[in-house]
Amino acid sequence: MFYWIFISWFLQIPKFVSSIMTVDISLCFYIIPEDFHHEGDVVIGAFFPIHTYYSPNKVPYKTLPYQYMDNYLQYNFKNYQYILALVLAIEEINGNPNLLPNISLGFDFYNVRFTEKETLMNVCIWITGQGQKKILPNYNCNKRIFTAALTGTSCTASAQIGTLLQLFQFPQLSFGPYDPILSDRGQYSSLYQMAPKYTSLSLGIVSLMVHFRWSWVGLILPDDHKGTKILSEFREDMERKGVCIAFLRIIPVTWTKHFNKFWENMEETNVIIIYGEIDSIIGIMRNIGQRLLTWKVWVMNIEPHITDFADYFMLDSFHGSLIFTHHYKESFELTKFIQTVNPYKYPEDIYLPKLWHLFFKCPFSDIDCQLLDNCQSNASLDILPSHILDTAISEESNNIYNAVYAVAHSLHQMSLQQVQIQPHEIGEVMTFFPWQLNIFLKDMDERGNMSLGGRKKLNAEYDILNLWNLPKGLGRKVKIGSFSGNAPEGQQLSLSEPMIQWAERFSEIPKSVCSKSCVPGFRKVTLEGKAICCHNCTPCADNEISNETDVDQCMKCPESHYVNPEKNHCLQKTVSFLAYEDPLGMTLTSISLCLSALTAFVIGVFVKYRETPIVKANNRGLSYTLLITITFCFLCPLNFIGQPNAATCILQQTIFGVAFTVALATVLVKAITVVIAFKVTFPGRIVRWLMTSRAPNCIIPICTLIQLLFCAIWMATSPPFIDQDFHAEHGHILLLCNKGSSLAFHCVLGYLCSLALGGYTMAFLSRNLPDTFNESKFLSFSMLVFFCVWVTFLPVYHSTKGKVMVAMEVFSILVSSAALLGFIFAPKCYIILLRPEKNSFHHMRDKAHSRKNKSLKI
């Protein structure tokens, strides 16, 4: 759709270009006076900036006071829309029988020149009705009735005119941007601003910077009170949003020979904000156009008002610029009215002949400087390019239109009041002093109606426009978004990025940063002594990630997740435990089952050869008890392998403690029995009773009950429970049984070691007793190994984590159990199975007899 619009515009451009390039500008173009009048019973004064004389030298010809030596008369025909809005409003009011009946409105137009002296001179001429040569203050030589003055667009011009009009309490309506200075009722009691009290412009621009990640931007401001105020607002909003000012340039009131320094270091950033009124920044905009700075994105609060026909088809420096304009509700239709405007319908308008002369090749008469009749019949202002005359209603034109209606309604109310007090005859024009109008205008201002905007609202809504240059003659202003300060946080800015055309250098969204972005996995580190936007990038710490660019702090992963190598994602950990399928679990399980089977085999051997001397001599009942208990000890590790649950966590330590208590108590009973049998030379009644009644066997249940009491207290106070270890293995959550009470676990283990130490002591005392089948040496070795294993277990256990810690306890159980089986029962099985000749009473007698003879010889 946009391409068809451009084509249609392009077909209309050649006639404008040819007229500009080929037509000789007539002398009448310069000698036609600047000011004109539109008759009416009541007259409004209009002071608009339509054209200025622009020349570096500013030296006029003596014979042609309106022409300068460089032959450069600068017209800003975009501002001619102000006159059109004024004429349209007056025609509507004059044609409305219900508003100011029998009273017609007119206006006096005066061009606002470039010096304060000439501006105030026009005001004096209008008030007094006298000529330029001689002005007598307080004398009005004109019989017309004046009502109010419309001034703008800059607050400077309004303030200059207001200083003079304030002396007479003359109503003044300013249609330019709102300025807090003009709202000072002590200094300007009769001045009313049509523009609302807008705020949040800086927030809107900074929000745009944040949206496009432009953190390093330039700032160009005027050297006035508005520039100072907006600078503090920019700094506050930028600091809050993390945007930095790369450089600050203050537009001087007067340019000097050091002007070129103004543009130094502009290459530091691709985005530059320009803020100010048109009068304060027109010079800088013109210089930007002359320098063809086409590789910058300009963000402005007003549209560039530059008309230069010499570069008609050249690249526009402001192509791709973004402009924040106040959003307002258009109160009138301008396009249809523009189509009807021509110099023959409004002969008093001095600008229409100049427009027709420039753009439609209409010649002037050399006699009276009037347009000749041989002009184009279909010529119309609405076909002019938008950079010359825009048909879209500007905010200033809207304010002018509303200001005229505000004056008309005030006059209407005044007329009704005068009729009620003193009726006047039909056809008689009411008479009043201009200062009387202030009563009604102030009432409107306080009530906030009729678009007197000084008290109307605080937060503005802005339209964001994008300038398209295709080329300048086909330039378009396209609305690409909006900003509302009243919207909730995060919903204030709305953009349609595909519609944006950037400056010529950029094929995508430009970047404007001090430092390169920190990619995910890195965080920003502010450089000392530099702005916060200038930084280095450092990797995130262990177990921390950043999944966005330019983060200030990395965030930690939950314990249930782990960091990927790039440190930009948290990955879910897998649940792990010492499973039977693991190589380590499978190995330990196989060893446990094999040793259990081996113990069962030994039990079978002892049962089969139970009547042999070696089995009988080593207390057959205790051997069976010890072998069965060792079998349970070998099966204990199966509780430690596999996915833990509440039951297995409790059974692990209980079965382990009780089984080993029974085994060690049995060894202790064996050692005590040997000592009692061989150490007592003259056994008395008590010793004989101990040997015959087998009282030492009671040690086993007693020791077991003590261990059961420990375990019961442990399970009642702080039982083992299922725990998760997030750090033992990378990327895994290890399920294991927490001991619950570390003190209870060490008490159980200490009790076992004390039994082992007791059994070792008793066995050591009986190691040299003369007996063929004396097993004291084997008992002492087994207890020594058991004691060493579990003493060594403690430091190793506390220095390991995860599966290794569980495997370490399982390994200790298997080794200590294997020591009991190997040292105590391996020699007996060797004799029973491999040396059966030694397992006989005859062998025992021969061995005893030889030992006796040997002792006699000695």
Whether residue 482 sits in one domain with residue 566: no
- Cα–Cα nearest to 770, from 678, 676, 672: 678
The residue written with tokens 């959550």 in the block is 733
pLDDT at 231 (0 to 100): 92
Whether residue 601 sits in one domain with residue 551: no
Q: Kindly state whether residue 739 falls inside one of the protein's structural domains.
A: yes
pLDDT at 471 (0 to 100): 60
Q: Kindly state whether residue 287 falls inside one of the protein's structural domains.
A: yes
pLDDT at 73 (0 to 100): 56
| pLDDT reading at 741 higher than 70 | yes
Taking residues 359-378, report their average pLDDT. Answer: 79
Indicate the pLDDT class of residue 85, thresholds 50, 70 and 90: very high
Residues contacting residue 816 through CB under 8 Å, at least 6 positions apart: 633, 660, 785, 786, 789, 790
Whether residue 475 sits in one domain with residue 392: no
Lowest mean pLDDT among 82-91, 425-434, 599-608, 839-848: 839-848
- Tell me what percent of the residues of the chain surpass a pLDDT of 70: 81
CA dihedral (450, 455, 457, 460) positive or negative: positive
Domain span at 808:
592-857
Whether residue 602 sits in one domain with residue 554: no
Q: Kindly state whether residue 507 falls inside one of the protein's structural domains.
A: no
Q: What is the pLDDT of residues 267-308, one digit of tens each?
A: 888 999 999 887 788 778 877 877 777 788 999 988 876 544
CATH assignment of the domain containing 695: 1.20.1070
Whether residue 368 sits in one domain with residue 286: no
Determine the Cα–Cα distance for residues 725 and 706; give it in Å rounded to an integer: 33
State the angle between helix axes of 646-679 and 685-693 in degrees (0 to 180), rounded to the nearest 10: 140
Q: Kindly state whether residue 539 falls inside one of the protein's structural domains.
A: yes
Taking residues 339-368, report their average pLDDT. Answer: 86
For the CA atoms of 830, 831, 833, 838, the dihedral, rounded to the nearest 10 degrees, stands at: 160
Whether residue 563 sits in one domain with residue 475: no
Whether residue 220 sits in one domain with residue 188: no
| pLDDT reading at 258 higher than 50 | yes
The CA-atom distances, in angstroms, between 465 and each of 83, 333, 487, 655 are 24, 21, 19, 81
| pLDDT reading at 596 higher than 60 | yes
pLDDT at 597 (0 to 100): 93
Whether residue 368 sits in one domain with residue 276: no
Determine the Cα–Cα distance for residues 472 and 64; give it in Å rounded to an integer: 32
For the chain, state the CA radius of gyration: 53
Whether residue 264 sits in one domain with residue 189: no
Run of H or E residues at 19: helix 2-22
DSSP secondary structure letters along 745-773:
HHHHHHHHHHHHHHHHHHHHHTTT---TT
pTM beyond 0.85: no
| pLDDT reading at 602 higher than 80 | yes
- Tell me what percent of the residues of the chain surpass a pLDDT of 90: 21
Q: Kindly state whether residue 579 falls inside one of the protein's structural domains.
A: no
Determine the Cα–Cα distance for residues 461 and 479; give it in Å rounded to an integer: 13
Whether residue 671 sits in one domain with residue 557: no
| Inter-residue contact 671 to 781 (CB < 8 Å) | no
For the CA atoms of 694, 695, 697, 702, the dihedral, rounded to the nearest 10 degrees, stands at: 170
Domains in the chain, number: 4
Q: Kindly state whether residue 577 falls inside one of the protein's structural domains.
A: no
Determine the Cα–Cα distance for residues 551 and 538; give it in Å rounded to an integer: 11
Indicate the pLDDT class of residue 680, thresholds 50, 70 and 90: low
pLDDT at 789 (0 to 100): 86
CATH assignment of the domain containing 344: 3.40.50.2300
Considering only residues 206 and 265, tell me which one the structure prediction assigns the higher pLDDT: 206
The segment with the largest mean pLDDT, out of 367-376, 650-659, 837-846, is 650-659
Q: What is the pLDDT of residues 153-178, one digit of tens each?
A: 888 888 989 988 988 889 999 998 88
| pLDDT reading at 323 higher than 90 | yes
